[in-house]
């Protein structure tokens, strides 16, 4: 009840224009009072006018296109209500970058959001194609939108047959750079987490991505490659690319 009135207050003040796409169920799940306050802070800070439309509503996150000053922005909100503590913790524990951030059940989701943000930043540093991270605030990330005015970019699994090999090769190329240069292992790499736009592939969804120093990093790398090999096989694509070299095997 309280959630609704908080949202309504914002709408009434004309400062936060959700449109009709967001149903009551979703509202109730995601936009508790605190999340609303955080959204509000970010919107002020980045001069975001309104929520354009929902792009995706997954088990653990909601993704919206929001209208920024010049270009499209994506807002990803991690749901606090469906947090799988152990699952998430497996990808945080063991990553030296996050080892010191002690996590209670309540704050783990914030670490998760910061981890995705940090992974995106690190990738951008090495010119790896991912969305450009803009901000992280508690369980919310803002990043650049990939797509055109009408619709977000397609996932690799949905591109036309004639473009698939090109996008597949491009994704493998970005993945290889991610491993070898940024030394990050995605750990959920598949045709679902690659966006294809104007002949370029962008890797997304990096909350679970770990430093190569994570004790299971090598296993994650093998699993990622197996996902892509299986996808290539199902779609009659060629897989004759150099596989990424695991960083632990060259230095140290
Ligand atoms: N920067 C972005 N630009 C356009 N669409 C995006 C962007 N980030 C995510 N999406 C869309 O939202 C979906 C869910 O995002 P993702 O980060 O994969 O979260 P999850 O799979 O954990 O719910 C993606 O499959 C994609 O369709
Ligand atoms: Mg995803």
pLDDT at 240: 83
- Other C-beta atoms within 10 Å of 141: how many? 26
Residue 242 exposed, middle or buried by CB count within 10 Å (0-12, 13-18, 19+)? exposed
Domains of the chain, first to last = 2-144 (3.30.200.20), 154-243 (1.10.510.10)
**CA 246–ligand 1 middle distance (angstroms):** 26
Q: Is 55 in the pocket of ligand 1 (CB under 6 A)?
A: yes
- Determine the distance separating the centroid of ligand 2 and the alpha carbon of 49, expressed in angstroms: 26
Pick the catalytic residue: 14, 23, 163, 188?
188
Per-residue pLDDT in tens (0 to 9) along the chain, 252 residues: 444 445 455 555 554 555 433 445 555 444 667 788 888 889 889 998 888 888 988 778 889 999 888 889 999 998 877 777 788 888 998 999 987 776 676 788 899 999 999 999 999 999 999 999 999 999 999 999 999 988 999 999 999 999 999 999 999 999 999 999 999 999 999 999 999 999 999 999 999 999 999 999 999 999 999 999 999 999 999 998 889 999 977 554
What are the CB-based long-range contacts (under 8 Å, 24+) for 233-237?
A: 235/161, 235/164, 235/168, 237/164, 237/165, 237/168
Instruction: Find, among 81, 79, 104, 92, the residue nearest to 187 by Cα.
Output: 92
For the Cβ of 130 lying below 6 angstroms from any atom of ligand 1, the answer is no
| Cβ(68) – ligand 1 distance below 6 Å | no
Query: What spacing in Å lies between the alpha carbon of 138 and ligand 2's midpoint?
Result: 19
């Amino acid at each position: 009840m309280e959630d609704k009135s908080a949202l309504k207050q914002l709408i009434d003040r004309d400062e936060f224009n959700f449109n009709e796409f967001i149903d009551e169920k979703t509202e109730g799940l995601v936009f508790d009072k605190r999340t609303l306050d955080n959204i509000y802070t970010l919107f002020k800070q980045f001069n975001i006018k309104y929520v354009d439309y929902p792009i995706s509503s997954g088990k653990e996150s909601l993704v919206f296109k929001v209208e920024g000053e010049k270009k499209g922005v994506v807002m990803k909100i991690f749901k606090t209500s469906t947090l799988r503590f152990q699952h998430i913790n497996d990808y945080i524990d063991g990553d030296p970058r996050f080892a010191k951030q002690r996590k209670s059940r309540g704050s783990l989701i914030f670490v998760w959001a910061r981890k995705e943000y940090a992974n995106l930043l690190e990738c951008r540093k090495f010119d790896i194609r991912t969305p450009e991270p803009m901000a992280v605030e508690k369980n919310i990330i803002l990043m650049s939108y990939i797509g055109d005015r009408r619709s977000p970019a397609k996932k690799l699994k949905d591109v036309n047959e004639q473009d698939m090999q090109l996008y597949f090769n491009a994704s493998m190329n970005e993945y290889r750079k991610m491993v070898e240069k940024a030394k990050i292992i995605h750990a959920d790499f598949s045709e679902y987490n690659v966006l294809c736009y104007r002949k370029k592939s962008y890797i997304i969804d990096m909350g679970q991505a770990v430093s190569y120093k994570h004790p299971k990093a090598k296993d994650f790398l093998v699993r990622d490659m197996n996902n892509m090999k299986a996808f290539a096989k199902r779609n009659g694509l060629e897989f004759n690319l150099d596989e990424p070299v695991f960083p632990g095997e060259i230095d140290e």
